[in-house]
Structure 1
Amino acid sequence: MELGRRVLKQQEAAYEKEEDQYAEEMERLETLPKAFEEDTWTWEDLEWIVRWKMTGSPFVGKVLDDFNSNDETFVTSQIEKSVAASSPGEKLSYLIEISGVAERMGSAFLLFMNPDRFTVLDWKAWSVLHESGYLPDEMPDDPSVDDYLVYLGSCWAIANEYDVSLRTLDMALWALGGDE
C-alpha cells in the first residue's frame, strides 16, 4: 500500500463517515488540550477517553473498572507529571503507572493532551505502516514505551513528508486498517 497526501486526505474523510463518535471526538480535541494544560479536566473526561479508545472492544467494561479503581489523587498527580514532562517517553511512562492505562491507552491520553504532537498507538494503524514499509516489524502483543516512540517517530516523519497533521494521519491509518 502506498501512502500519499491524497490517499491520507481521502481516508481522513472515510474515518469521519465510519466513526460514530467523530463529532464528539472533534469537540474533545478542541477542549481537552486546554483542560489538561489548565488542570481543569474531569474524571468524566478521562473515562470518555478510555471508552473512546476501547470503542467496539468487549473489554471496555473491564478496563473502565480497572481505571476507576485508581485513587483520584494518584491519577491527578500522574497526569500533572505527564503534562509537565518534556519528553514523549517520560509523558507516557507517567500515564502507564495508572491502573487500566497501558501504552496504547496512554497514547490516547497523550492525543487529547496535545493532538499536534501525539498520535494513538493502534494495531490497525501500525499494520498499515508495517505493510507500507514504514515499520520493520509487526506490533508486539504488549507494546512498550520504546515501541510507541518508534511508532510516533514514524508518524511524525510521514506527517511531515506528506504535509498533513498527525490527527489526519492517525484517522487515515485507522481507516486504511480496515475492520480486521
Structure 2
Amino acid sequence: MALTPDLVEEKVQRYPEIQPLAHAEEEHLEMLPEMLAGGDYGWRDPEWIVQWYGRRFLGGMPNAERRALEDAYDDNDYEAVHAAIEAAVEADGPKEKCSHLTSLAGVDVPIASAFCQFLHPEEYVVVDERQWSTLREYGELDAAYPSPPTATDYERYLETYRAVAERCECSLWDLYRALWVLSADI
C-alpha cells in the first residue's frame, strides 16, 4: 500500500477518534507559534510541549520514563528555557534549532523536534519511533528508527516527511495525524 492523498485524507478524519488529545493539540498549534515567537509565554506553555511528547502515547510510553523526562525538563530555569526558545525561533534549519533546544535539561532531539513543530508547524514535525516506523512500513524510509536519533537523522526524516506531504498534497500536521492512525492499523 502506498501513501496517497486519498489515504491521508481518510486517515486524518479518523484521528480524533483514536487520539483524545486531538482538540488540545489543535489549540496549541494555533496559539503556541505566535506566543513562542513573541516571547510572551509562561513556564507552563513550553512545559506543555514536553508533557505532550510523552502523554500522546496514552500509556504507550512507560509512566516512569515519561515522568523522568518531564522531571528532567523541570530542572531548567525559566531564563534558560526562554533563551533556548528565542535562539531556536531565530535559527535556520533543523540542526541549528535542535542545537539550541537540546542545550536544555531533559530535551533530546525528539523533544526538540516537538518544540520545532510547535514553533513552526508549517515547516517542522515531531520525530518519534511511531512516525518513523510507519514511514518505513510504507517504503518512505529505509533505515530503522535510530535510538536515539541525532539532529542529522532528524534532518533526513524531515526531508522525507516534507516530500511525502508535498506528494500527498497535505500539511505536515495532516500527514502526522494520518500516520498516527495508520500506525494503529499496522
What TM-score does the superposition give when structure 1 sets the normalisation length?
A: 0.95
CA contact (8 A) 2:94 2:154 kept: no
Matched, 1:9 2:15: no
Deviations, residues 131-155 of structure 1 (Å, cap 9, x unaligned): 2221110111110000000100001
Task: Give the Å deviation of 1:179.
Answer: 7.8
CA contact (8 A) 1:118 1:166 kept: yes
Alpha-carbon separation, structure 2, partners of 1:96 and 1:73: 15
Alpha-carbon separation, structure 2, partners of 1:179 and 1:97: 36
Moved over 6 A (4+): none
Counterpart secondary structure, 2:48? helix
Alpha-carbon separation, structure 2, partners of 1:144 and 1:67: 19
Matched, 1:110 2:121: no
In structure 2, the partner of 1:81 is 87
CA contact (8 A) 1:89 1:146 kept: yes
Counterpart secondary structure, 1:177? helix
Residues 85-164 of structure 1: pairs in structure 2 closer than 5 A: 85-164=91-170
In structure 1, the partner of 2:172 is 166
What TM-score does the superposition give when structure 2 sets the normalisation length?
A: 0.92
Deviations, residues 46-104 of structure 1 (Å, cap 9, x unaligned): 12111111013212211111000012211211111100112221011111111111111
Percent of pairs with identical residues: 34
Distance 1:80 1:122, change over 3 A: same
RMSD: 1.3
Where in structure 2 are there 5+ consecutive unaligned residues?
none
Task: Give the Å deviation of 1:41.
Answer: 2.2
Distance 1:142 1:13, change over 3 A: same
